[in-house]
Structure 1
Amino acid sequence: MSQDRASRYQAFIFDLDGTLIDSAPDIAAAVNAYLQEQGHAALEVAYVERFIGNGPRRLIRDILLDQGIVLEDAALDDAVQAYIGHYRRHPASHTRFFPHVKEDLENLHAAGFRLGICTNKPHALTRQILDLLALSPLVEVALGADAVPACKPDPGHLRAVARHMALPEGAWAYIGDTPVDQATAEAAGVPFFVVPWGGGGEVQVLPSQRLRRLRDLLSYKIAPLATPPSTTT
């Protein structure tokens, strides 16, 4: 769904990993902590980063399969919980905002935009990281993968965030960095923008959907209603 400057929004919902924050080093550290416990070699951050975006179970399953390791469901469940445990102990030691993201979010918030987050990261871990990065005061609603019946690319995940924010139809857009984010927005029938960092450069969108930085979204502000001229009698 394309956007132009005639479009106006009250709110934006964002993906988290790869869109607002570069969390790959901490995710890779947690993956490697689990792997090394099991006697496997540590993996490079860039390698792990290829598998981020579909939630922790897919992350661990897909990495293990790519490494030639197949686990039954119960063992995979244990592996995922071990990974999450490691991640929660060090959730933001090396995580950083992408350039200008924090200041642009602050400017969007100050301009009156309402902000939400829809992420496939576990919900409690999401809240922990938002607190550590001082994002919680800016974000009205954040829903992780396990806070909904089905997570992205299921459109119900994104729509659940909008529902919790009581957003009217047509008054908001979704911003992400992966084809999963794009597919989620399309399935939900909402406008989509892609950032240039994270995996954004690989997402195929119209030029009007490609942001240079988040402050570009300021131009989509709903104009305030004009104040009628006062009259005297």
Structure 2
Amino acid sequence: MTFARPATYSALIFDLDGTLINSAPDIAAAVNRTFALRGWPELETDYVEAFIGNGPRRLLYDMLSDLGLPCDDATVTAALDGYIRNYTEHPADRTRFYDHVLDDLVALRDAGFRLGICTNKPHALTQSILEVLGLDVLFEAALGADAVPACKPDPRHLIAVAEAMRLPVGEGAVNWAYVGDTAVDQATADAAGVPFFVVPWGGGSLVDVPAHQRLSRLADLVQFGPRTATAVE
């Protein structure tokens, strides 16, 4: 999708995993605790990370299928319950910010942006992680996959976050952008009709976007901030 970039954005909505935080070690640890109880193999973090992006149920189904393990609905549901329980008990033991992310988020807020999160992670777990990492004070709205009728790449997930922030939605009305690291994020933004930017970490290097949509760091977006534009004028 091509889009005309406005002189300013009033808000930015972010994906969480792979975009703001490297949560793969905690996700892999929760998976492995769940697998161990069932006698399934221990997995490397890099292997688990390759399946992240479509929510926990899809994460487990795709890995079980790839490993040739049972992946019927009942098995996946039972594994999902264990995974959520294990992850909730250790939400951010090994999770880290990508370089400069925390400082850049503060800079974006100070430049006048309103900030939100649209993530396929479960909602309660999202809120817990944001609180543990001290991010909850920066974001106006953060909606996990089970807090909305449909999750990414369905655009209604992203639109629900925008509506929670009282941002304009609909063709010709959008003055905000979505930032992510996967083709799922890109497809979500495209389907919602909003500008999209991709980070260079997480899965960002694999996403095919024009050069002007590829960030070197989040601070690149400060130039589109409302207060920045006012200062220039």
Tell me which residue corresponds to 2:148. 148
- Please tell me whether the aligned partners of residues 200 and 214 of structure 2 are also in contact (alpha carbons under 8 angstroms): yes
What secondary structure is seen at the aligned counterpart in 2 of 1:173?
strand
Contact kept in structure 2, 1:172 and 1:191, CA below 8 Å: yes
Counterpart amino acid of 2:197? F
> C-alpha offsets along residues 87-134 of structure 1, whole Å, 9 cap, x if unaligned?
001110000000000000011111110000000000000000000000
Query: Which of these residues, 208, 214, 233, is aligned with residue 204 of structure 1?
Result: 208
SS at match of 1:224: helix
Counterpart of 1:194 in structure 2 is 198
**Structure 1: which 5+ residue stretches go unaligned?**
228-233
Stretches of structure 2 lacking an aligned partner (at least 5 in a row): none
- Paired residue type of 2:131: D
CA distance in 1, matches of 2:54, 2:89: 21
Distance 1:167 1:5, change over 3 A: closer
- Alpha-carbon deviation of 1:7? 3.6
Percentage of matched positions with identical amino acids = 61
Q: CA deviation at 1:70?
A: 2.3
Q: Structure 1 length normalisation: TM-score?
A: 0.94
How far did 1:69 drift?
Answer: 1.1
How far does the alpha carbon of each residue in 1:54-83 deviate from its partner, in whole angstroms, 9 at most, with x for none? 000000000111110123212211110100
Q: Could you tell me whether the CA contact under 8 Å between 1:5 and 1:220 is conserved in 2? A: no
Conserved in 1, the CA contact under 8 Å of 2:108 and 2:225? no
**Aligned residue for 2:26?**
26
**1: CA distance between counterparts of 2:126 and 2:232?**
39
Normalization by structure 2: what TM-score? 0.94
Matched, 1:218 2:233: no
CA deviations 1:161-212 (Å, max 9, x no partner) are: 0000001232100000000000000000000000000000000000000000
Q: Does 1:15 align with 2:19?
A: no
Larger radius of gyration: 1
Runs (4+) of structure 1 moved beyond 2 Å?
A: 1-7, 222-227
Q: For the aligned residues, what is the CA RMSD?
A: 1.6
Q: How many residue pairs are counted as aligned between the two chains?
A: 227
Is 2:6–2:175's contact at 8 Å kept on the other side of the alignment? no
SS at match of 1:17: coil
Deviations 1:12-32 (A, max 9, x none): 000000000000000000000
